[in-house]
Chains A and B, each alone.
Chain A
């Protein structure tokens, strides 16, 4: 009886036999080649990602200008302008068409009065000076400790920067690239790629108290370039800060001491911990700026080991009194 299960296979012709043989040999060859080409003694293929290094953002040192300019006054914009004017003007640091990266301290979801973040007026003023020096773009960035959107919005920096014509650039996870800091305790770390895209970097710290490192100013502000698990840096904080200062050599440092957080740092939160100092310090020597700032927190250079370490590495001079310091009242 005919059933669908009884259908018979037709015989194999010579042509079919040759075709099938060719197909079987061909597929076997492909299988062999696949094994040959992809044979590996390692269980996974590790793609070596590119490791970046920081460029030197500094400009040529000119002896005719004072190394440090200290401006005192009420108006942040005037103080910043006067201080930078004294050390050669922004034209000395930023050439037309360059991309400039500003690194304020915008680590915390706090308001400007609480002095946990750099004064937005100082940041805006530097943005304007860079644009006046015909920088093509001015980026403002930080890797905040609190939620970055909140930090930039509530510190007033986002608004001030946008009004001044600058751009806020916040690093998403894929914006971090591995960078060799070549330090004693800091080797290869994720760093936001804006540092490698910018031509110049201007460091905009604020003077604050910090329980472990005693103070957080110009040198420790560079922490904010790092991503990854940077909370491990606290275990050897002095070496880590010195390493950062060796790796990142900013073009210019403009330190905000308009309001100084004296206690409960670096977060603050209470206005009674804030001292009004109405000072802005500008300089190319990171160590000298740092050392000058100690006075606001009643510290000596000897209290802060990383300043001595940085000086020993030849990063700057901590004895700022030996330098040419210009003091301006505006």
Chain B
């Protein structure tokens, strides 16, 4: 009984279940109520692609990213085990692929044979790697862990909540959430045409691990004397790595299905034996690789040939508190969406093109949806790459002697829309909610004349730019809520030396 249950594939499946549950659990823990110091960005920190790419842009291996060495060294010895045993996107793709395969009659041997299409991922890696080496971190667009974290945080979990109050008290809504959800569904649906299409053909992390596992210490070997060329080993192959001929170790996900599917006991994992077949080559031509690298080098200046938050400060690009200088920020942010998940007020959103092409899906605050909670520093603690550096509440609020609070922007009044200014109506909700002490929003009590000649005493609000921290609660709570009468823009942010307006402060 035990021996029948404890097959290789069941052992792998139990690891897969454990890691996918761990991934969802860590994401679920990413919130004010449950975070309590857990290492919630663990999967992103284990991701060698994030470590390598962010190393190329900034020549540092930031804190937890050193954990990726576990995967790197493990892959050098054991092969690309990450993809089918640990990677949450790989596991979900595998499940989707098997379901699609079961739903209709398919020739799994044909579907699981190696195709030259699978080279594509190496080219994607080459393009993104060259762009990173030139100083722009776009790896997050394709990195599987970033992709699945972002998709879950921004689309899947809010979608599952569906106003029920089960996962979130207040339904989170994200700028462009549907778009990100569609991309995720498209990645899953691609399995309908080719199982694990993403992992085999697109994933740059898979490509990186493929390079690392080109000649691993242990690998799958086919015994040429025993093999009868029945191709049953292809029936459930995850990677499409040709176990029936010369195994392509760079493509092998170590699913170990071929070992159990082989009726002749001709496949084993470990060191080679005397009758082992040779291994297949890494199917990447030098010429093609150079072409891709050149393409990356060409894409880079084109990508830079636009206005971005780096070349000219953009008023809507309000970064979370603790964010580093915009130029460095774009060198570190992998667009994973952890900060967006943890934000208690749903203030942090994935940018579309506000921060330029390079800044796509990087975090920006949209104050009409949420605002930066005064005593909250959670986003700075979940960032795996240090684009947002950890803050303490004392540091954020500038409580220590001689310290100033972290300012993310400045509020401005639109006197043509503000009720006490434009409509002779009492309001000053903004002053009520302003969290600083003394309040950055103050008011002058004035007597105004109404249309009918009567007099009215009104409180007209103003901002003290030296006290305003740009938290945006005034904008968020303004009753003119379609286009608030008080709005925060990024100017005056602590992290920038150029996005400033006041000479003396």
Interface residues, chain A, CB within 8 Å of chain B? Answer: 109-110, 145-150, 153-154, 170-175, 210-212, 229, 231-232, 234-237, 264, 266-270, 273
Bound complex: CA A121 to CA B302 (Å): 62
New contact pairs (14) apart from A267-B439, A268-B437, CB-CB < 8 Å: A109-B374, A146-B373, A153-B33, A170-B169, A172-B164, A173-B171, A211-B431, A211-B459, A212-B426, A212-B427, A234-B427, A234-B428, A264-B437, A267-B435
By the criterion CB–CB under 8 Å, are B170 and A172 in contact? yes
Contact across chains for B479 and A269 when beta carbons are under 8 A apart = no
Residues 419-469 (chain B) with a chain A CB within 8 angstroms: 419, 425-429, 431-439, 443, 459
In the complex the two chains form, is B376's CB within 8 Å of A211's CB? no
**Cβ of A234 and Cβ of B432 under 8 Å apart?**
yes
What is the size category of the interface that chain B forms with chain A? 35 or more
B390-435 CB contacts (< 8 Å) to partner A? 419, 425-429, 431-435
Whether A267 contacts B344 by the Cβ 8 Å rule is no
Q: Which residue of A lies closest to B34 (CB)?
A: A149
CA distance A267 to B419 in the complex (A): 22
User: A326 to nearest B CB, angstroms?
Assistant: 34
Q: Is the CB of B432 within 8 A of A150?
A: no
| B window 32-69: CB within 8 A of A | 32-33
Are A231 and B459 in contact, with the CB atoms below 8 A?
no
Is A145 touching B437 in the complex (CB atoms < 8 A)?
no
Residues of A within 8 A of B433 (CB): 145, 267
Shortest beta-carbon distance, A173 to chain B, in Å? 6
Taking CB as reference atom, which chain A residue is nearest B374?
Answer: A109
Chain A residues within an 8 Å CB radius of B436: 269
**30 residue pairs from A and B, CB less than 8 Å apart:** A109-B374, A109-B376, A145-B433, A146-B373, A147-B373, A149-B33, A150-B32, A150-B376, A154-B375, A172-B165, A172-B169, A172-B170, A173-B170, A173-B171, A174-B163, A211-B431, A211-B432, A212-B431, A212-B459, A231-B477, A231-B479, A232-B479, A234-B426, A234-B428, A235-B425, A235-B479, A267-B437, A268-B437, A269-B435, A269-B437
The interface residues of chain A lying within 8 Å CB-to-CB of B344 are: 147, 149-150
Pick the contact of A175 from B165, B373, B426 — CB < 8 Å? B165
Given A109-B374, A149-B32: A266 and B432 within 8 A (CB)?
yes
Interface: B115 (CB within 8 A): no
By a CB distance below 8 angstroms, the chain B residues around A153 are: 32-33
Residues of B within 8 A of A235 (CB): 419, 425-427, 479
Pick from A109, A174, A231, A269: contact of B164, CB under 8 Å:
A174
- Residues on the A chain within 8 Å of B178, using CB: none
What's the least CB distance linking A235 to chain B, in Å?
5
Interface residues of B in 269-316 (CB under 8 A from A): none
- Whether A231 lies near B439 (C-beta < 8 A) is no
Q: How far is the CA of A147 from the CA of B428 in the complex (A)?
A: 20
Most buried by A among B164, B439, B478: B439
Partner of A229, one of B438, B443, B459, B479: B479
CB-based nearest B residue for A272: B437
Nearest Cβ on chain B to A200's Cβ, whole angstroms: 25
Please give the distance in Å from A199's CB to the nearest CB on chain B: 24
* B95 → chain A closest CB, angstroms: 31
Known: A150-B344, A175-B165, A212-B459. A231 touches B429 (CB 8 A): yes
The distance from the CB of B427 to the nearest CB of chain A, in whole angstroms, is: 5
Which B residue sits closest to A172, measured CB to CB?
A: B165
Interface of B is mostly: loop
Closest CB in chain A relative to B392 CB, distance in Å: 15
- Which residues of chain B come closer than 8 Å to A210, judged between CB atoms? 432
Residues of chain A within 8 A (CB-CB) of B437 are 264, 267-270, 273
> B165 and A174: CB pair below 8 A?
yes
**A154 neighbours in B (Cβ, 8 Å):** 375
Q: Does B345 contact A (CB under 8 A)?
A: yes
Among A170, A234, A235, residue most surrounded by chain B Cβ atoms (within 10 Å): A234
Docked complex Cα distance between A229 and B436 (Å):
23
| Chain B residue nearest to A146 in the complex (CB) | B373
Q: List the A residue with the shortest CB-CB distance to B343.
A: A147
Q: Which B residues are in CB contact (< 8 Å) with A273?
A: 437
How long is the Cα–Cα vector from A237 to B419 in the complex, in angstroms?
Answer: 14
Residues in chain B near residue A231, CB distance under 8 A: 429, 477-479
Contacts of A110 in B (CB 8 A): 375
Residue of A nearest to B397 (CB): A269
Residues of chain A contacted by B375 (CB below 8 angstroms): 109-110, 150, 154
When the two chains form their complex, are residues A212 and B432 in contact, meaning their CB atoms are under 8 A apart? yes
Cα of A143 to Cα of B226 in the assembled complex, Å: 72
Determine the residue in chain B with the shortest Cβ distance to A175.
B165
Q: Determine whether the beta carbon of B432 is less than 8 Å from that of A264.
A: no
- For B434, the chain A residues whose CB sits under 8 A away are 267
Cβ contact of A212, chosen from B373, B376, B428, B439, cutoff 8 A = B428
Which residues on the A side are within 8 Å of B426 (C-beta)? 212, 234-237
A110 and chain B: residue at smallest CB distance: B375
Complex CA distance for A234 and B170, rounded to whole angstroms: 24
Given A211-B443, A211-B459, A269-B435 in contact, is the A148-B428 Cβ separation under 8 Å? no
**Given the complex, which residues of A lie within 8 Å of B481, measured CB to CB?**
229
Closest to A147 in B: B344
Q: Whole-angstrom distance between the alpha carbons of A268 and B374 in the complex?
A: 12
Q: Which residues of A contact B438 (CB under 8 A)?
A: 264, 270
Given the complex, which residues of B lie within 8 Å of A268, measured CB to CB? 437
Task: Write the nearest CB–CB distance from B421 to chain A, whole angstroms.
Answer: 14
- Chain B residue, CB-CB nearest to A211: B431
- Cα A145 to Cα B376 with chains together (Å): 15
Residue of A nearest to B443 (CB): A211
Q: Which residues of A contact B33 (CB under 8 A)?
A: 149, 153
